[in-house]
Amino acid sequence: MQRLFTLIFLFVCAQSFGQSPQQSQLKSWTEEYWQHGLNLLTEIVKMPNDAVYTEQIETNIQWCEQQFESRDWSYERLSTGGIPILLAQKINPNANTTILFYFHIDGQAVDRSQWDQPDPYIPVLKEKDESGYWKTIDFQRLQSEYNPEWRVFARSTSDDKGPFAMFLTAWDVLREKENLPDYSVKVILDFEEEQGSPNLPDAVVKYKDKLAADLMLIMDGPRHSSNLPTLTFGARGIAQMTLTTFGPKLPQHSGHYGNYAPNPALLLSQLLASMKDEDGQVSIPGYYEGIELSEQEKVILAAVPDNDEAIQKRLGIGRTDQVGNTYQESIQYPSLNIRGMRSAWVGPEARTIVPATALAEVDIRLVPESDPERLFSLIRKHIEDQGFHIVESDPSDEERLQYPKIVKLESKISYQAFRTPLDSYAGDWLRSAMNRAFGQEPIQIRISGGSIPISPFVDALKIPAVTIPTVNADNNQHSPNENIRLGNYREGIQTILSVLTEPSNK
C-alpha cells in the first residue's frame, strides 16, 4: 500500500517538474557532448587573459560576445570605471523567474618559467605516471579512451574559464535536446576578478535594474577537498588593520636605554596578547556576539566530510585554535589573525637597539553577524582599556610626552560576508537539482572561510546567492600548472545541466 502511494507521489512530482531529465539521462547527454565541451575549453584558454593587459581582455570579450551571438542571446557591455562587464540574457517569455550566473574570464598572471609545459596558454593533456609525475599525452587518445584522472593543464582551466565552457556546453546540449530552462537566464562575465573586481561594486549599483534576478549562482571556486558535489552558501568577508606602537623617537642604544626607554615590540606583544587567549579565542568582549550555532546547524556542519586529523597532519600543527569544535565550526566565527609583524632588524642585520616602532598587520574575516564597524569599535574600546591612546597618524612630540602608551590604528573594510540560508527556497531548489544529477545529497558548506570579491555584488543586489563549485580542489589555482581533472569537467557539465533543467515553478 505504501509502495503504491510512493509511486503515485513520484508520478505527480514528475508531472509538476515538467520534463526534468533524470541522472542517467544527464549522464548520457554529458558523455555525448563533453568532447565538444573540451574543444570549447581548449579554444577559450588559448587566449591570454591577464587583466593588467587590456588588449588581452578585449580579445576575450569579443570571443564571449561571439559565443552568445551564435546561441541567439542578447548581450551588452556595461561600462565601468575600468574594463567593462559583459551582461548576456536569454529571456524566457513564459517565465517569471530569472537566475543570474556569475563567471569571470580573466586569469592570474603567469610566470612561464615555472610551468612544466611550453606555454601556459596552450593546453596539454597529462596523465600521472607511476612515480607521480605528470606526463604529457596526446589529445588524440581521447578519441578512443577516457580516464577521469587525466587532466588538462593551462591557465584558467579551473579558475574560471573552465566553468564557463561547461556552461556553454550544457546550453548547447539542452538547445539540441529542446530542453531549455523554464526560467530566464542572465550571465554576467567579470573580466577583472583577479584584480579584486575593483569596479564591480559601483557597476552593480549603477546597473541594478539590468542585473535584477531572483537568485544568483556563483560559478567559481573548487569543490570540497573530498571532490564530491558541493554547494557553498556564503563566504566570509574581510577587513584589515595595522597597529603600530612607539618607543623612542629614533632607535636607541640598548645598553644606554635598555630598562629605561619603553620597548615598542613589548608594547605590541602585550597588546596583541591581550586580544586572544591561550586557545586562540578572541578575548575582546562582544567579539563573537550574535553567533549561535543551533543543534541543526551543527549537524549540517558535522555532515561535511572533513578529516581534521589529516588537515592537522598536513599543516604540521599539534593542536588547533578552539574557536569552534571542528574545522567547519571554526569558520562560522570572525577571525583576528596576525598576518605579519615587524620591528627593527633580525638575523644578521640585528642591532643592539631599543626599536623606535613595532608594527602588526591583522586581518579579520567577517561573518554576517559581525558588522565590521561594530568589531572595530569593540577593538578600539579594548585597546583603550589597555591604557593606550589611539592615534591615526604618527604621534607628535606633544602626544609622545602626554600619553604613556600610544598606538596608531589604521583600518580598512574590504568587503562584508554573505550567507544564504541552507533552508531557503534557493537551498531546496539547488539540492533538488544536485540530487537529480548525482543521486545523492551534495556537500553543503554553510560559509567558506575565504573571502570572494564578488560579495559586494551579492550585497548590492540583495538576492540570495549560492556558489556552485565544480573544479577539483588540487587544481593549482593562482599557481603554475593550473589544471582541471577530466572527471570534474564532465561532472561540472552534468551539474549545470541539472541546474538548467530544474523547474522554477515547482
Binders in 144-203 for its own copies, by CB under 8 A: none
Any idea what the Cα angle at residue 18 is, between residues 14 and 19, rounded to 5°?
90
Between 432 and 467, name the residue whose CB sits nearer to its own copies: 467
Residue 383 touches its own copies, criterion: CB under 8 A: no
Q: Segment contacting its own copies (CB under 8 A): 138-146, 169-177, 208-216, 344-352?
A: 344-352
> Is 342 among the residues that bind its own copies (CB under 8 A)?
yes
Interaction of residue 393 with its own copies, rule CB under 8 A: no
- Please state the φ and ψ torsions of residue 172, each to the nearest 5 degrees: -60, -40
User: What is the nearest approach in angstroms of its own copies to the Cβ of residue 334?
Assistant: 8
403 binds its own copies (CB under 8 A): yes
Whether the link from the prior residue into 160 is cis, omega within 30° of 0, is yes
Residue 257 touching its own copies (CB under 8 A): yes
Give the integer Cα–Cα distance in Å for 265 and 64: 53
What span, in angstroms and rounded, lies between the C-alpha atoms of 329 and 347?
Answer: 39
The smaller minimum CB distance to its own copies, of residues 95 and 359, is found at 359
Q: Cβ 256 to its own copies, closest distance in Å?
A: 5
Distance separating alpha carbons of residues 361 and 359, to the nearest angstrom: 7
Q: Does 319 bind its own copies (CB under 8 A)?
A: yes
What is the rounded CA–CA span in Å between residue 300 and residue 445? 8
Measured CA distances, 330 to 280, 302, 327, 337, 367 (Å): 11, 12, 5, 13, 11
Instruction: State which of residues 24, 294, 315, 392 lies at the interface with its own copies (CB under 8 A).
Output: 315
Q: Is 346 in the site for its own copies (CB under 8 A)?
A: yes
Site string for its own copies, 431-470 (x = CB under 8 A): -----------------xxxx-------------------
For β-strands 134-137 and 215-218, DSSP reports them as unpaired
- Give the separation between CA 189 and CA 193, rounded to whole angstroms: 10
Segment near its own copies (CB under 8 A); pick from 3-11, 53-61, 118-126, 234-242 = 234-242
Judged by CB under 8 A, which of 312, 424, 435, 481 binds its own copies? 312
Which range touches its own copies (CB under 8 A), out of 67-75, 87-95, 371-379, 399-407? 399-407
Q: How many residues bind its own copies (CB under 8 A)?
A: 85
State the minimum distance, in angstroms, from the CB of residue 385 to its own copies. 13
DSSP-based three-state secondary structure for 451: coil
Residue 292 binds to its own copies (criterion: CB under 8 A): no
C-alpha cell at 148: 577521469
**249 belongs to the binding site for its own copies (CB under 8 A):** yes
Q: What value, to the nearest 5°, has the Cα angle with vertex 431 and ends 427 and 432?
A: 115
Task: Please tell me whether residue 273 binds its own copies under the rule CB under 8 A.
Answer: yes
Looking at the Cβ atoms of 180 and 341, the one nearer to its own copies is 341
487 binds its own copies (CB under 8 A): no
Nearest CA to 179 out of 498, 486, 450, 477 is that of 498
Q: Smallest Cα–Cα separation from 431: which of 463, 468, 464, 473?
A: 468
Does 74 bind its own copies (CB under 8 A)? Our answer is no
C-alpha cell at 321: 585554535
Task: Kindly tell me which residue out of 158, 330, 416, 483 binds its own copies, with binding defined by CB under 8 A.
Answer: 330
CA dihedral sign of residues 29, 31, 32, 34 = positive
Question: Which member of 55, 178, 209, 397 binds its own copies (CB under 8 A)?
Answer: 397
**Contact flag: residue 238 with its own copies (CB under 8 A):** yes
CB of 402 to its own copies, least distance (A): 6
Contact 148, 490 (CB under 8 A): yes
